[in-house]
Every structure is written in C-alpha cells, then in structure tokens.
Structure 1
Amino acid sequence: MATSTNGKILATGGYNSSGYLNSTKLYDSSTELWTTTGSMSTTRCYLVATILSNGKVLVAGGYGISGVSNIAELYDPSAGLWTTTGSINTARYVHTGTVLTNGNVLIAGGYGSIGYLTGSQEYDSSTRIWTATGNMTTARYLHGASMLSSGVILVAGGAVVSGYTNTAKLYTS
C-alpha cells in the first residue's frame, strides 16, 4: 500500500483464494469509499510500493505465479494507468523501498531465487534505470527502512539465515 499525493491510499496486488492479484483499488478517507482503478501488468504479492516526488507510485519486485519477480511498474494517479519501467537487476520480494533525497528510490535486501539478499539497487526516476549499489553485511528480509533527517537510510531488523536480527545498517547515497 502507498498513500498518494492526492491523499488516497493505493492498494495493489496480493493473494487470495483465486490466486495472485494484479488489481488496484484506491481508498478515499474523506468519503470512506474504495474505487477500482487500472491493474498492474503482472499478478504478484509481497511487492514494494514507493511514492515518487512527481506523485507517481513505483512498484518493484514481488512474488507471483512465475516465482520471484524483477518487474517494476509506475502508477500514474492522474490517468489511473500503469506502465512498465526498467526491470530491477535482482528479482526480490519482502524487501524495502525508500525515496532518497535526490528523488531516486533505494530498494534493499529481500528474498530472491538465491535466498536472502544483501544487495541494494537504486532506481533513477528521471532515466528509469536501476543500478546496483552497496551491499549490506547481513542478508535480510522482512526488515524496516527509514530515512533519517540527515538523508541517510537506516535499515534495521528483519529475518536472517539464523532467525531474526536486531542489527542495523546505514546507507548513504
């Protein structure tokens, strides 16, 4: 889920008794109503949704009928449409997405076809290109990531090979 710049909450993808989903709905808290909008091109769950500075929502990765996904899509709330954008370099799910001070998006960790991931990738919102960037020393998924007031990203906790961790790492772009 992501809260868009117009105050509506975007819910997309997921899984139910019918299987993996690509449907998208918007919730308007002022009317307490859900409306259906455009669907993603790919059915998946465990994706990450991040709101860009231009108001569009970037969805990356996830898990679907074909397994771990490297597909990234942009949702344009003014048109209600999805478009595919550059694919992430390493397919992953249960990862984090954080907008950086330069407007790019950092995705970190997660779980991929090779298991727990240490790597991170940066999405350039102007060129729509993904670039591999720093690795964490501890592979993790189901973790949290937040931008600190200094512009540094704090990645903390999560599941690791041996169970769970309370360690944290800092990322500077």
Structure 2
Amino acid sequence: MIYRRALHTSSLLTNGKVLVSGGVNSTDYYNNSTELYDPLTEAWTVSGRMNCVRAMHTASVLMNGKVLVAGGDDSRNTLNTAELYEPTTGIWTMTRTMNFRRFGHMVSILPNGKVLVIAGSNGTRFLNSAELYDPSTETWTTTGKIGVARFDFTASVLTNGKVLIAGGVTDENVGQGTELYDPSTGNWTAAGNMNTQRFGHTASILTNGQVLVAGGFSDKFINIAELYDPSTGIWTITGSMHNARSFHTASVLNDGKVLVAGGYNSSGFSNSSELYDPLTRTWLITDGLHHSRFQHTATVLKNGKILITGGSINNDFLNSTEIY
C-alpha cells in the first residue's frame, strides 16, 4: 500500500476494486487517507481523503455501490460522524451523523438495504444502543437496544435475515452470550450461549448457513472453534485450530472452506494460517503469511483470491499486502 495502516477498513467495491480507508499509522497519528487496489493491475492508487480522520470505524458497501463509513476514533474524540464514498468520482461527502458516538462497534447490512450499527464504546463506557441508516433518506433512526452492552464482539447476518451477535467484552466479564436481532420487529432476543467466553474472535457464515466462531481471548488465547445452527439455536464445539489466536482474520473461500490468518497469541504476533473444512470439521495448516501481523484486514476478491492488507507488529505499522 502507499500508506502504513492498522485498524483500518477494506471494502470490495462493485467494480472489483478494494477501497482501504483510514486507520492509524503510529501510536499518535490517525489518518483520513484512502487508497484503491486494482486486482487487474495489482497496483495501488491514492483516492479521495475522508472528511474526518478515523480508526476503529466501520465501512459498508451499500446496494447503490457507495461506501458508508461510520464512527470510530480520531485519537482525541469518539466520533458520531458518517460519510459516503462515491466510487465513480472518488469523492467523500458527509451524511447525517449517528445518534451515538461509538468506536469498536459492529455493522451489518440488512436484506432491505439498511445498515445496522451495533454497540461499541463511546470512550467512557460500553454501549447497548443500536441504530439504522437508511440510504434512501440518508437518515439514522434508533432501533432496539441489545440486552448486554459489549465491545469487540462479532455480528453476522444469517440466511433468515436476522443478525447474530456473539461474545465480546462486557461490563462484567468476557462474554459468551449471544443475541438475535429481528429486522421485522426491531427487537433483540437472547440466544444460546457459546461454549467459550471470547473476544477478538471471528465469525464466518458457512455455505450451509451455520456460523463458525474461531479463536479469540478470555483468560488465555483460544484455539477452540464452535458452530451455531440457526435452525436449532444451539452451539456445538467443532475441531480446534492448530494455533490459538486473536485479532486474526477469517475469510470464506469459494470452495466453502474458511481461511484464518495472522493474529496474536502467547508466542507473540503470528504469521500462521489454516483452513477449516466444513465437511470434515477439521483444520489444516496452510501456507503462512510472509509477515506476521494483527489488526489487519482480509478481503475476498471477485477472482476468489484473498487480499491481506496492513496491520501492526511490535508498534510497527505495515503497508505490506499479500495475496492468498
């Protein structure tokens, strides 16, 4: 990449390019730079700067092809600002602000095209608020509050259109609780507990509709993985990863397998990668990253390859990228 960055976002645009936005490139410098990766030329080019510097924000590709960036932190303040990226011009424009300032939140695009923003932190406390962005009116409206305020959790849109949130850090402990959001009612209901408390984990929607949760941290780094079955609401333990890890990435490949890469564990920063096979429910070690990294991103390209970008290691922020 042109710029070093971690805690940034990566978005696959409808034209096949990848937009990387914001992040941090030193302990005290947050940025508003963005850049584009073109898989056809394998080249990076600078794109328009966001109006606000931000890291630990979210980025969502809307049905109209624009990218909505929301919230985050600018090193001094927690943000409620949001802005839209127009791929045809490379220009960012401000849209309506969220009702709540937040970073470390999660975001899900609902089947109706609205964007659900969930929980996170306002810099003082964890949040239980959630809100919806309507691209047609460019407005935010509050929706049902989650039962347990949380940070560093996962959010997954199930095949039935509901949204599953799992784990994270809560006011009391590291959570193993999960909740379901029903877009038709705007309400959250408690779902079955995971078998393991965790934050800094990943959640992946498998081709059979189940959710694979892997890794994370509780009182130790975790290699345990488990499956959520939406038809029963039950979590079951599946094969454990070979390497415990947190703050890694997980990508569903075209063949249905899941690639996890990098992260952090008791041995330090990791470059290891492994594949989960849903048919055998086992993990296989695969080719490792060239550079150990965490707080990076992974994007599944239209050609099926995986683009890994940035991250950090030992307070060194990376501009290196890799293709799997």
C-alpha displacement of 1:149: 0.5
Structure 1 residue aligned with 2:261, among 137, 156, 166? 156
C-alpha displacement of 1:18: 4.1
Unaligned runs of 5+ in 2: 1-106, 279-324
- Structure that is richer in strand per residue: 1
Q: In structure 2, how many angstroms separate the alpha carbons of the residues matched to 1:93 and 1:38? A: 23
Structure 1: which amino acid aligns with 2:259? L
Identity %: 48
Task: Flag as ranges the 4+ runs of structure 1 deviating above 6 A.
Answer: none
Provide the residue aligned with 2:167 in structure 1: 61
**How does the TM-score come out when normalised to structure 2?**
0.52
Q: Deviations over 1:11-59 (max 9, x none)?
A: 1111124411111011222322111000100011111000000100000
Unaligned runs of 5+ in 1: none
**How does the TM-score come out when normalised to structure 1?**
0.96
Provide the residue aligned with 1:137 in structure 2: 242
Structure 1: which amino acid aligns with 2:190? T
Structure 2 residue aligned with 1:76, among 161, 166, 182? 182
Range that drifts further, 22-31 or 144-153:
22-31
Provide the residue aligned with 2:231 in structure 1: 126
Provide the residue aligned with 2:203 in structure 1: 97
Structure 1 residue aligned with 2:213, among 79, 89, 107? 107
Question: Which residues in structure 2 correspond to 1:1-80 (within 5 Å)?
Answer: 1-80=107-186
Cα-Cα RMSD: 1.0
Structure with the greater alpha carbon radius of gyration = 2
C-alpha displacement of 1:8: 1.5
1:155 is paired with a residue of what secondary structure?
strand
Provide the residue aligned with 1:171 in structure 2: 276
Q: In structure 2, how many angstroms separate the alpha carbons of the residues matched to 1:62 and 1:128? A: 19
Range that drifts further, 8-17 or 67-76:
8-17
Q: In structure 1, how many angstroms separate the alpha carbons of the residues matched to 2:135 and 2:117? A: 13
Q: In structure 1, how many angstroms separate the alpha carbons of the residues matched to 2:253 and 2:212? A: 14
Structure 2: which amino acid aligns with 1:83? T
